[in-house]
Amino acid sequence: MKLSEEKYNKYALVREMMETPAIIRSFKPDVAARFAVTVKKLKGLFLTGEGSSRIFPAKRAIYAFHKKGLTLPIVTEGCTQAEEYNLNDYTVFAASNSGQTKEVVRLTTALKKQNHKAVFGLTANPGTKLEEIVSDTHILICGKENAVAATKSVIEQGLFYDSLLRIIKGEKMDGLKELADKTEEALTLKIDPAITGIISKASMIYFAGRNNGVAEELALKTNEITRKKSAFLEGTFAVHGIEEVMDKSEVVIWIEPFPAEMEKFNECLVKGVGLNIIAVSTKKTIFPTIIIPDGGQYAEYVQLAAGWNILVETGVALGINLDKPTRARKVGNEYIPE
């Protein structure tokens, strides 16, 4: 997608996606320092929120720091289920771009009543109900999003958690300029029209990949941007039974395929079901492949940006108004003061 072309730049969604590289370049890694002091004192870190404010930021953080061997337990769960948990020994971060998400307000209110002192907010808007409840709040620099689908805010939330955990581990967060450049490259990659055609004609779009927030977040964005049904197939779930009900009208978009499992996916899904698999990878695969820049330690951000690009191209090909879904709302379940 190119901002210079009217078919893209008329949408707030695309304009906000394209603001992401500048947000990455402007991000200050020390913004989480004051929160890290509290995190170090407790036994674990609990990252919560709803939808996009939780899926990518929280799961990407957990994945990245399991790889690094961080010993601090990091857990994520939706707010309503989290109300059933004992979070006394956890520092809790509740993310809500609006600061008005009902489930987030309800959980943080309950924790405040329990006199839990280590409950923090992460939001894009100042002066919200969330900020009123929690002990401290970080306000994102990305600003308000006008599109229904959250994009630039998701990346900045991810960077905040990334910086928090690096401070705790004593690591420096560098390479953000290079990440910004690669994210911009991923956003503006030319997608083969043949691939866009396969995706736009599919009756169901599955995203397969690691449980690091990327494929799952893109499955959600598929609903909001292309208006097509989608599902997240974690790990190798795609070849553990669901193939029984798949059909050739569907497509699997596989984010950075596991090399050891490509032949099995090909056998079960391409040959067995007759559907198409599209790979999104830093290198050529046995499937039609959208080759993206290698983001290294920040690979998941680049993968997510490439996924946005694919979905926008699909939505444009389908003639959809990307900014006006019929039922989806900016705040899925908004807190209304009594």
Annotate 55-95 with DSSP letters as a single string. Answer: HHHHHHHHHHHHHHT--S-EEE--HHHHTTS--TTEEEEEE
User: Model confidence over 280-324: pLDDT tens digits?
Assistant: 999 999 999 999 999 999 999 999 999 999 999 999 999 999 988
140: which DSSP letter?
A: P
Rounded alpha-carbon distances, angstroms, from residue 267 to 29, 180, 237, 256: 45, 37, 14, 18
Place of tokens 């940006």: 305
Task: Please give the span between the terminal C-alpha atoms of the chain, in angstroms, as a whole number.
Answer: 44
Residue 76 has pLDDT above 80, yes or no: yes
pLDDT of residue 244: 93
Calculate mean pLDDT across residues 221-244.
95
Average pLDDT of the chain is 94
pLDDT of residue 147: 87
pLDDT of residue 291: 98
Calculate mean pLDDT across residues 150-177.
95
Assign domain 6-174 one CATH number from 2.40.33.20, 3.40.50.10490, 1.20.120.530, 3.40.190.10.
3.40.50.10490
User: Model confidence over 125-157: pLDDT tens digits?
Assistant: 999 999 999 999 999 999 888 888 899 999 999
Architecture of domain 178-317: 3-Layer(aba) Sandwich (3.40)
Retrieve residue 42's tokens: 């407790």
Q: How confident is the model at residue 71 (pLDDT cuts 50, 70, 90)?
A: confident
Residue 329 has pLDDT above 60, yes or no: no
- Spatial contact of 106 and 79, defined as CB atoms under 8 Å apart: yes
Residue 334 has pLDDT above 80, yes or no: no
- Spatial contact of 287 and 263, defined as CB atoms under 8 Å apart: no
pLDDT of residue 92: 98
Dist CA 238 CA 277 (whole Å): 11
Dist CA 185 CA 201 (whole Å): 26
Same fold, 6-174 and 178-317: yes
Phi-psi region of 90 (alpha: psi -120 to 50; beta: other; left: phi over 0): beta
Calculate mean pLDDT across residues 225-233.
95
Contacts of 154 (CB under 8 A, 6+ apart): 52, 53, 56, 57, 217, 304
Domain boundaries, the chain: 6-174, 178-317
Residue 79 has pLDDT above 90, yes or no: yes
**Residue 109, CA atoms < 13 Å, CB-side half-sphere:** 12
- Spatial contact of 187 and 18, defined as CB atoms under 8 Å apart: yes
Retrieve residue 47's tokens: 């990252």
pLDDT of residue 72: 87
pLDDT of residue 330: 60
Residue type, 110: A
- Spatial contact of 154 and 57, defined as CB atoms under 8 Å apart: yes
% residues pLDDT > 70 (the chain): 97
Phi, psi of 289 (to 5 degrees): -125, 130
- Spatial contact of 205 and 319, defined as CB atoms under 8 Å apart: no
Dist CA 319 CA 94 (whole Å): 36
Query: How far is C-alpha 320 from the geometric centre of its chain's CA atoms?
Result: 22
Query: How far is C-alpha 168 from the geometric centre of its chain's CA atoms?
Result: 23
User: Three-state SS for 114?
Assistant: coil
Residue 279's CB is within 10 A of a number of other CB atoms, namely 22
User: Model confidence over 184-222: pLDDT tens digits?
Assistant: 999 999 999 999 999 999 999 999 999 999 999 999 999
pLDDT of residue 290: 98
Residue 336 has pLDDT above 80, yes or no: no
Dist CA 113 CA 134 (whole Å): 11
Query: How far is C-alpha 111 from the geometric centre of its chain's CA atoms?
Result: 26
Calculate mean pLDDT across residues 100-112.
96
Dist CA 17 CA 149 (whole Å): 10
pLDDT of residue 69: 81
pLDDT of residue 59: 98
Calculate mean pLDDT across residues 167-178.
95
Dist CA 44 CA 65 (whole Å): 13
pLDDT of residue 328: 67
Strand partners of residue 234: 209
Is the four-CA dihedral 152, 157, 158, 162 of positive or negative sign? positive
**Beta strands at 136-139 and 205-209: parallel, antiparallel or unpaired:** unpaired
